[in-house]
Amino acid sequence: MVKVNSGFLNPEDTRRTLMNPNPSPTQTDTNDYIELARRLHRNEGENTPLFLVAGLLLVAASPSTAVDAVFLFGYVAARMAHTWAYLTEQDHEMRAACFTVGAALTAGMVIYAGTAALWH
């Protein structure tokens, strides 16, 4: 927001401060650069907690190192690809493909942990 001097969410953010020496009512106008960053942060904030829970369940199931690596590194790679797709403004299909891989790996972690708990 400081970089582009707009995209502030709240009117009180446009007050004169050390970081905002020249306030303007236009600072609350939307800005594509800021909105992209907001969407990216919101998306990560929605998906990371689910991954953390699934990852903890997976680790609690004590799988082999190879299984751990496929699920955990695969998820991280899928999220990095999704972030790249967002930052480079790829079309929805590209972002959806990356998201789907991450979501499938998260579901796979939960399923693996669940079956391990049922069989032991």
Calpha distance 104→120 (Å, rounded): 24
CA angle 5, 9, 47 (to 5 degrees): 110
pLDDT in the model for residue 44: 87
Question: Cβ atoms within 10 A of the Cβ of 97, count?
Answer: 14
pLDDT in the model for residue 28: 86
The number of residues in the chain equals 120
Question: To 10 degrees, what angle do helices 32-60 and 92-119 make?
Answer: 20
pLDDT in the model for residue 68: 94
For the segment 50-84, what is each residue's pLDDT rounded down to a tens digit? Answer: 999 999 999 999 999 999 999 999 999 999 999 99
pLDDT in the model for residue 2: 60
Boundaries of every domain in the chain: 1-30, 32-119
Determine the topology of domain 32-119 in CATH: Four Helix Bundle (Hemerythrin (Met), subunit A) (1.20.120)
Calpha distance 82→88 (Å, rounded): 10
End-to-end CA distance of the chain: 52
pLDDT, block means (10 residues), the chain with 120 residues: 75 86 86 87 90 96 95 97 93 95 97 93
Put residue 90 in one of left, alpha, beta given phi > 0 → left and psi -120 to 50 → alpha. Answer: beta
Calpha distance 92→59 (Å, rounded): 32
pLDDT in the model for residue 7: 82
